Amino acid sequence: MARSNTFIQPRRMARQIHVGKVAVGGGAPVTVQSMTTTKTANVDATLAQIYALAGAGCDIVRCTCNEIEAAEGLAQMVPRSPLPIIADIHFHVEMALAALEAGVAGLRLNPGNLRKPEEIKLVAREAKDRSVPIRIGVNAGSLHPDLYKKYGGATPEALVESALNELAYFREVDFEDVKISVKASNVPLMVEAYRMLAETVDFPLHLGVTEAGPPPAGLIKATAGIATLLAEGIGDTIRYSLTADPVEEVKAGRTLLEALGLRERRGLDLIACPSCGRAEIDVIKVAKEVQEALEKLSLPIQVAVMGCVVNGPGEAREADLGIAAGKHKGHLFIKGKIVRVVPEAEMVGELVAEAERLVKEGTEARLAAADPNAAKEAEADRAELFNLRGSDANSSQVRIDAIRHKHSDS
């Protein structure tokens, strides 16, 4: 269960649907989605990618269904997949019907591409008979030409109207097992469209900045849009649309949700100082080594790598575990308390070993096992480095005295 977070506004309470066994909306945890990049007809390659996505923390996966061979591939994958599969449908109603026959857990329809009302209603009726939800997936780049003409381009109003038009066809056949997305590659447009949609309907919303591009720019764009809405309480399931390995999409989505306190941490959360002139080690190099070592262990803890002992343990006191460098030594700390001082060459290995012990034994036990001389040794190192490299901090008392003197004279 996610911890309370006053930074995040109360979640918009949408109606709940189920994609397979995964709940979306209605107070369920925000889920992470991605899409396979393999040919769906290549069952083994696609399943391998789905398993990799599941291992990274994906909750729901989407596969394209653009040809009959893809539908046949879906029929083979559905019973073997660790994740519920959504079939992505663009132009052909036949592919939507074939995907339903294949047993998929959901469909995604693009209103700008599948446009004939009778075909849309046919798919909705067939999905209703099978209790399969449909995502109305509006995309700013493929709106119906009439909406472009009406609004003079892709606007928030145009995106929302596209979704509502599709929803009206569904309602004609009494189908409301729906979630909706109104994606755009333009972040302000995307954010405003979702805000407008959230005030208009009570269906769960799938968030994403479409065609965000490769990292790092794509990560920044996607996070800007998705995080803004999540902080406002809007959004029930998310996808990072990156030009990258889809596993990277999942990692980004999980990291965002964990950072916002919307999902419990399931793996490593590494924090590290940006380094400065006081750093006693190559922080970037050590942080990378720590990350590579600990990610393989999938330990659900927050670990800090700090460049020096002057401020490191104090600044990272909330971390479960951390290391700060000082005088060719590593100061190992748990919740800001120094527990051991180790040689610099052994910093990474000792940190990894302590992380494993911490997860196995718990914080209190590891604090109880601390070296009784560690805190004293660390303080001596800290004091020496403070005097040598902390001139900016050392001047603080002079400034305080000046302020007090001036204040007393006034």
Q: What is the mean predicted confidence (pLDDT) over 206-226? A: 97
Secondary structure (3-state) at 299: coil
Higher-scoring residue by pLDDT: 272, 386: 272
pLDDT at position 311 is 64
Lowest-confidence range among 34-43, 219-228, 302-311, 370-379? Answer: 302-311
Higher-scoring residue by pLDDT: 114, 235: 235
Annotated domain spans of the chain: 17-259, 269-394
Predicted confidence band at 300 (pLDDT cuts at 50, 70, 90)? confident
pLDDT at position 316 is 75
Secondary structure (3-state) at 124: helix
Cβ pair 210, 238 in contact under 8 A: no
What are the backbone dihedrals phi and psi of residue 144, each rounded to the nearest 5 degrees, phi first? -60, 140
Predicted confidence band at 280 (pLDDT cuts at 50, 70, 90)? low
Q: What is the mean predicted confidence (pLDDT) over 339-354? A: 91
Predicted confidence band at 331 (pLDDT cuts at 50, 70, 90)? confident
Angle, helix 68-77 to helix 43-56, in steps of 10 degrees: 50
Asked whether the predicted pLDDT for residue 84 surpasses 90, the reply is: yes
Query: Which residue(s) pair with 325 in the sheet?
Result: 330
Asked whether the predicted pLDDT for residue 228 surpasses 90, the reply is: yes
pLDDT at position 389 is 52
Predicted confidence band at 278 (pLDDT cuts at 50, 70, 90)? low
Token pair 């950072």 is found at: 259
pLDDT at position 409 is 63
Lowest-confidence range among 15-24, 92-101, 279-288, 399-408? Answer: 399-408
Cβ pair 326, 315 in contact under 8 A: no
Beta-carbon contacts of 241 under 8 Å, excluding residues fewer than 6 positions away, are 183, 208, 209, 210, 211, 212, 218, 222, 249
Distance separating alpha carbons of residues 230 and 207, to the nearest angstrom: 9
Predicted confidence band at 2 (pLDDT cuts at 50, 70, 90)? very low
Cβ pair 135, 111 in contact under 8 A: no
Cβ pair 222, 209 in contact under 8 A: yes
Lowest-confidence range among 97-106, 118-127, 313-322? Answer: 313-322
Asked whether the predicted pLDDT for residue 381 surpasses 80, the reply is: no
| Class of residue 86 by CB neighbours under 10 A (exposed 0-12, middle 13-18, buried 19+) | buried
- State what percent of residues in the chain have pLDDT above 90: 70
pLDDT at position 71 is 98
Asked whether the predicted pLDDT for residue 1 surpasses 50, the reply is: no
* Inter-CA distances, 23 with 110, 129, 162, 204, 369, Å: 22, 19, 25, 10, 43
pLDDT at position 91 is 87
Question: pTM value?
Answer: 0.84
CATH topology for the 269-394 domain: Sulfite Reductase Hemoprotein; domain 1 (3.30.413)
pLDDT at position 6 is 64
182-215: pLDDT as tens digits: 999 999 999 999 999 999 999 999 999 999 999 9
Q: What is the mean predicted confidence (pLDDT) over 219-230? A: 98
Predicted confidence band at 383 (pLDDT cuts at 50, 70, 90)? confident
Cβ pair 32, 254 in contact under 8 A: yes
Q: What is the mean predicted confidence (pLDDT) over 83-97? A: 95
Kindly state the tokens that stand for 311: 């401020």
pLDDT at position 3 is 45
Query: Between 3.40.1280.10, 3.90.1150.10, 3.20.20.20, 3.40.50.620, what CATH number should domain 17-259 receive?
Result: 3.20.20.20
Asked whether the predicted pLDDT for residue 39 surpasses 90, the reply is: yes
Asked whether the predicted pLDDT for residue 68 surpasses 60, the reply is: yes
Higher-scoring residue by pLDDT: 376, 221: 221
Beta-carbon contacts of 113 under 8 Å, excluding residues fewer than 6 positions away, are 90, 91, 142
Asked whether the predicted pLDDT for residue 388 surpasses 70, the reply is: no
Kindly state the tokens that stand for 272: 């590290």
pLDDT at position 397 is 54
Q: What is the mean predicted confidence (pLDDT) over 236-265? A: 95
Closest CA to 204 of 408, 33, 401: 33
Average pLDDT along the chain: 90
pLDDT at position 106 is 98
pLDDT at position 226 is 98
pLDDT at position 234 is 98
